[in-house]
A and B are shown apart, each in its own frame.
Chain A
Amino acid sequence: MTATEIAPVGAASPQHVPYRPPRAVRYGATAGLLVLLIAFPLVLPNPTVTSIGVFTMIYLIAAIGWNIFSGYSGYISIGHAAYYGIGQYTVALITIHAHLPGGWGLFGLLPVAGVVSALASIPIGFLLLRVRRHTFIVLTIAIMFILQLLAFNLTRFTNGSGGLTMPFPTWTGNFFNMPFYYVGLLAAVVAGAAAWWIRRSKYGLGLFAIRDDEERARGLGIKVTRSKLIAYAASAFFVGIAGGLYAPFVGSVYPQFAFDPTFDLAVAVLVFVGGIGTLSGPVLGALVLIPLQQYFYLQFGNANLYLIAYGVLFILILRLLPGGIVPGVTSAWRARLVARARARQEDTRPEDTGLKDDAGQKGRA
Chain B
Amino acid sequence: MLTIAGLFAGYGGGDVLRGVDLTVAQGSITCVVGPNGAGKSTLLKVISGLLRPRLGTITFRDAPIGGASPRRVLEAGIVQVMQSRNLFPDLTVRQNVEIGGYLIKDQALLRRRLDEVSDQFPIVRERAGERAGQLSGGQQRMVELARALMLDPALVVLDEPSMGLEPRAAAAMYASVRNMAQTGRSILLVEQNVRAGLELATHGVVMETGRVRLEGTGTEVLAHPQMRALYLGGTIEESGVTDQEAAQEKTR
Contact = CB atoms under 8 A, between A and B. Distances in A.
Interface of A: 8-12, 15-16, 18-20, 202, 205-206, 208-209, 211-213, 216, 218-223, 358-359, 362-364
A221 B88 contact: no
Given A9-B168, A212-B90, A221-B102, A359 B126 contact: no
B152 to A, nearest CB: 14
Contacts of A216: 82, 86, 88
A17 to B, nearest CB: 9
Contact of A359 (B80, B88, B122, B134): B134
Contacts of B248: none
Interface stretch (B23-31, B59-67, B70-78, B203-211): B70-78
Given A9-B142, A18-B129, A359-B134, 12 more contacts: A9-B169, A10-B121, A10-B139, A15-B130, A202-B110, A208-B88, A208-B91, A212-B91, A213-B88, A218-B70, A223-B71, A359-B131
B48 interface: yes
Interface string B106-119: 00001000000000
B172 A9 contact: yes
Contacts of B214: none
B157 to A, nearest CB: 11
Interface in B125-167: 126-127, 129-131, 134, 136, 138-139, 142
Contacts of A11: 126
Contacts of A206: 99, 102
Contacts of B123: 9-10
10 contacts: A20-B129, A202-B98, A202-B110, A205-B91, A208-B91, A208-B95, A220-B102, A222-B99, A362-B90, A363-B131
Contact of B122 (A10, A15, A212, A221): A10
10 cross-chain pairs, A with B, having the tightest CB-CB distances, nearest first? A212-B88, A10-B123, A221-B71, A221-B103, A221-B74, A9-B138, A219-B70, A18-B129, A12-B126, A19-B129
Contacts, number: 80
A209 B88 contact: yes
B56 interface: no
Nearest to B73: A221
A219 B80 contact: yes
B50 A209 contact: no
A10 B88 contact: no
Contact of B48 (A8, A16, A219, A363): A219
Q: Is the interface of B mostly helix, strand, loop or mixed?
A: helix
A91 B243 CA distance: 60
A202 B150 CA distance: 14
Contacts of A202: 98, 102, 110
Contacts of A213: 88
A4 to B, nearest CB: 15
B92 interface: yes
B100 interface: yes
A363 B121 CA distance: 25
A209 B92 contact: no
Interface string B190-218: 00000000000000000000000000000
B126 A221 contact: no
A216 B90 CA distance: 14
Nearest to B71: A221
Contacts of B138: 9
B251 to A, nearest CB: 10
Given A219-B82, A220-B102, A364 B74 contact: no
A16 B88 CA distance: 19
B19 interface: no
A362 B89 CA distance: 10
Nearest to A20: B129
| B70, B90, B98 — most chain A CB neighbours (10 Å) | B90
A214 to B, nearest CB: 11
A19 B130 contact: yes
Contacts of B127: 12, 16
B40 to A, nearest CB: 18
A10 B71 contact: no
Contacts of A15: 130, 134
A14 B134 CA distance: 12
Contacts of B121: 10
A209 B74 contact: no
A361 to B, nearest CB: 12
A270 B242 CA distance: 51
Contact of A358 (B71, B88, B134): B134
B250 to A, nearest CB: 14
Contacts of A220: 74, 99-100, 102
Nearest to A202: B102
B70 A221 contact: yes
B75 A208 contact: no
B99 A16 contact: no
A18 to B, nearest CB: 5
Contacts of B50: 219
A9 B90 contact: no
B140 to A, nearest CB: 10
A9 B139 contact: yes
A221 B168 CA distance: 32
Contacts of B110: 202
